[in-house]
Amino acid sequence: MSEAHSRPKLAVWKFASCDGCQLSLLDCEDELLAVAEAIEIANFPEASRAVVAGPYDLSLVEGSITTPHDAERIRDIRAQSKTLVTIGACATAGGIQALRNFADVEAFTRIVYARPEYIATLAESTAIADHVAVDFELRGCPISKTQLLEVISAFLAGRRPVTPAHSVCVECKLRGTVCVMVAQGTPCLGPATHAGCGAICPAYDRGCYGCFGPMETPNPAALDARWGELGADRARRERVYRTFNAGAPAFREAAARIAAADEEES
Amino acid sequence: MSEDASAAPRYLERADFDRLLEALAARGYTVIGPRVEGGAIVYDELSTSAELPIGWGDEQEGGHYRLRRRGDAALFGYNLGPSAWKRHLHAPRVKLLEAARDADGRLRFERVPAPQPRRAFLGVRACELAAIGVQDRVLVDGAHVDPHYAARRESLFLVAVNCGQAAATCFCTSMETGPRVQGGHDLALTELLDASRHGFLVEAGSDAGAALLEALPTRAADAADIAAAGAAVANAAAGQVRQMAQAGIRDALYDRLEHPRWDEVASRCLSCANCTMVCPTCFCTTVEDVTDLSGEHAERWRRWDSCFTLDFTHLHGGPARTSAKSRYRQWLTHKLAGWHDQFGESGCVGCGRCITWCPVGIDITEEVAALRALPDPSANGAS
């Protein structure tokens, strides 16, 4: 193994998020020593208070941009990072907090805070890539720790990470899970959702919730028509696209289209 | 096969069916056959007939599959489930090679040997035998032999079953692959079940099959057995409600590459790749290289891929087939037209899996009919 000082420097950054994705790194219990041997964990407040100053070879960025301050901070982080990888639905699509994008944030602050005038917040929660150049986006709410290790290993080897952008259906078929939509009539978001979780929910007889956001070429309109035939009502069909990846363009448009059709009919 | 092997058919009582499984086990075969799992019939290891889908049938339509009780004790009264035998022959994931750095820092490559399991497939339908034949021609018979497929294929013992009924999605009669088993099997069974009896007409299709048949407690099949078996297969043929006319299909599709129907079907297609995953002849794979954190060890894996993914045509700069239209057209025209040019036959066996397991029920027979109903307005001299 190479000398400690020659290891690439890793930094982990947090924006508006629950910390779940960066904790996936600490969750890599069996591989954590190998991670620490391969890369210098230089800035990772969840793991250590010891911070090594930048610049950093690899920055993992969790969370979305929701404040003017964070919109500035991400530029500084980008400037200090040779490679910047965003991890999780917040960082790649704005997260669950992107539901604010469809509501009145000022009204929220008036209800929640005693002194709303102290709250400096943006009208929308947005992905990191909306603010700075991102070298790679790792999807998921939360991300898969296997995929995180793959991204770090790929970075170290200077290769493209193996994180296919096809549908969750391919993962079901690879593992031999019988399609819950066809065999049980369970509405499933799998055909429109990015692979990566390993198709966990259908393996437990549940439809996919879309945690990994839109797949590479989603067709939510056609999938939505089928959901309707399977008995899912308008509210449910709209809501399913308004979760962790509500801000991802394909899901945002799908929910808007379903909502608009609803208004037209009523 | 020698002349003797095609000797007169035999009759095996249902009560003696486990003798067949025991005889296969005694010859060292792991038996893979139909079982009920996850609300469908799938092919998995089994050791007794009690594990078979006794009394189960199914209901199938575009995007729809449900298991149904038949009200009898048939062992093979179901139609095709989602998982083709290719799962066991052309495995979803195969490790091809490993690489590691030795003490001198040099990379050493090691090919992963192909496992050679000794297996018997039980309950292979006529269209599925045809599909195995199609994959044989692609993966073994050509200039480039896939050693992993070949190793799994080599010691295979095939117990086929003639269909006694058809699903609404079946169209093997159009593809001339069934419902009667046409070859490539070691044994072929026809289940005979009525008020007076429950048994199987058994016919050998190979010397190995004939030898195994001799070891079973059977009697000579009589004229009534043979007639009943014929009626069962006739019922499966008569029950097919879907067709796909094959005459001229290759040129008809090539003449319609800009037909408006491609846009129409693309508006419904999810590009989810389910059709290609369940298709018993789709053979495409991709290769993925992974390294570990230390950089001292690497692996190369092969996994099923699909012409519906963008990576499938990723060349320098991006994917070649960016629209759903171009991907659906590629799949359909390769399966039904290009396959003739490439391998001298159709790539479709009429199993109907792509119809049933498409989440939105896109029907290959309907799409072809719609394409052929009208000429391509942009083409000259469309047939």
Closest CA to B285 of B109, B112, B138, B99: B138
- Per-residue model confidence as pLDDT tens digits over B137-162: 999 998 899 999 999 999 999 999 99
Residue A45: inside a domain: yes
Tokens for A243, please give them.
Answer: 């979760």
Buried b (16+ CB within 10 A) or exposed e, B109-122: eeeeebeeeebbbb
- Which ipTM did the prediction report? 0.95
Residues of A with Cβ-Cβ distance to B324 under 8 angstroms: 217, 219
- Per-residue model confidence as pLDDT tens digits over B28-71: 999 999 999 999 999 999 999 999 999 999 999 999 999 999 99
Tell me the C-alpha distance between B334 and B325, whole Å: 14
Q: Report DSSP state, residue A178.
A: P
The strands making up B297-304's β-sheet, listed across from edge to edge, are: B107-111, B93-101, B297-304, B285-291
The DSSP element (H or E) to which B279 belongs, if any, is: none
Whole-number pLDDT of residue B380? 57
Q: Nearest by CB to B293, from A156, A173, A176: name it.
A: A156
Q: Can you tell me the mean pLDDT for B242-267?
A: 97
Q: Do A52 and A147 fall into the same domain? A: yes
Q: How confident is the model at residue B6 (pLDDT cuts 50, 70, 90)?
A: low
Residue A15: inside a domain: yes
Tokens for A42, please give them.
Answer: 């230089």
Residue A10: inside a domain: yes
**B224 three-state secondary structure:** helix
Which chain A residue shows the shortest CA-CA distance from B68? A183
Residue B306, judged by CB atoms within 10 A of its CB (0-12, 13-18, 19+), counts as buried
Tell me the C-alpha distance between B115 and B51, whole Å: 26
Q: How confident is the model at residue A3 (pLDDT cuts 50, 70, 90)?
A: very low
Q: Can you tell me the mean pLDDT for A196-213?
A: 97
Put simply, the answer to whether A38 touches B272 (Cβ < 8 Å) is: no
Residue A30: inside a domain: yes
Last residue of a domain, one of A157, A186, A218: A157
In angstroms, the separation between the Cα of residue A105 and the nearest Cα of chain B is 35
Q: Do A174 and A127 fall into the same domain? A: no
Phi, psi for B317 (deg, rounded to 5): 100, -20
Put simply, the answer to whether B311 touches A182 (Cβ < 8 Å) is: no
Residue A130: inside a domain: yes
Closest CA to B33 of B93, B76, B73: B76
Whole-number pLDDT of residue B115? 87
Tell me the C-alpha distance between B265 and B10, whole Å: 49
Half-sphere CA count of B318, side-chain side, radius 13 A: 5
Sign of CA dihedral A218, A222, A228, A234: positive
CB B324, CB A220: distance < 8 Å: no
Per cent of chain A over pLDDT 70 is 98
- Per-residue model confidence as pLDDT tens digits over A110-139: 999 999 999 999 999 999 999 999 999 999
The count of domains in chain A is: 2
Whole-number pLDDT of residue B355? 98
Whole-number pLDDT of residue B348? 98
**B10 three-state secondary structure:** strand
Last residue of a domain, one of A123, A157, A191: A157
Q: What is the CATH number of the domain that holds A145?
A: 3.40.50.700
Q: Do A146 and A41 fall into the same domain? A: yes
pLDDT of residue A221 exceeding 50, the answer is: yes
Which stretch of A81-85, A187-191, B293-297 has the lowest confidence by average pLDDT?
B293-297
Q: How confident is the model at residue B382 (pLDDT cuts 50, 70, 90)?
A: very low
In the stretch 76-105 of chain B, residues with CB closer than 8 A to chain A read 81-83, 87, 92-93
Whole-number pLDDT of residue B317? 87
Name the residue range of residue A75's domain.
Answer: 4-157
Q: Do A24 and A153 fall into the same domain? A: yes
Mean pLDDT of chain B: 95
**B109 three-state secondary structure:** strand
Residues of B with Cβ-Cβ distance to A29 under 8 angstroms: none
pLDDT of residue A264 exceeding 90, the answer is: no
Phi, psi for B290 (deg, rounded to 5): -125, 145
Q: Can you tell me the mean pLDDT for A10-36?
A: 94
Tell me the C-alpha distance between A198 and A156, whole Å: 24
Q: How confident is the model at residue A266 (pLDDT cuts 50, 70, 90)?
A: low
The label of the residue with tokens 């489930």 reads B81
Q: Do A147 and A68 fall into the same domain? A: yes
In angstroms, the separation between the Cα of residue B282 and the nearest Cα of chain A is 13
Q: What's at A238, amino acid-wise?
A: E
pLDDT of residue B1 exceeding 60, the answer is: no
Last residue of a domain, one of A128, A157, A186: A157
Q: Which residues are registered as beta bridge partners of B190? A: B201
Whole-number pLDDT of residue A265? 72
How far, in whole angstroms, is CA A30 from its chain's centroid? 24
- Per-residue model confidence as pLDDT tens digits over B71-96: 999 999 999 999 999 999 999 999 99
Q: Do A250 and A175 fall into the same domain? A: yes
CB B339, CB B220: distance < 8 Å: no
Residue A206: inside a domain: yes
How far, in whole angstroms, is CA B226 from its chain's centroid? 27
A214 touches chain B (CB under 8 A): no
In angstroms, the separation between the Cα of residue B175 and the nearest Cα of chain A is 25
Tokens for B225, please give them.
Answer: 């057995």
Residue A162: inside a domain: no
Tell me the C-alpha distance between B54 and B67, whole Å: 12
Residue A163: inside a domain: no
Residues of A with Cβ-Cβ distance to B81 under 8 angstroms: 178
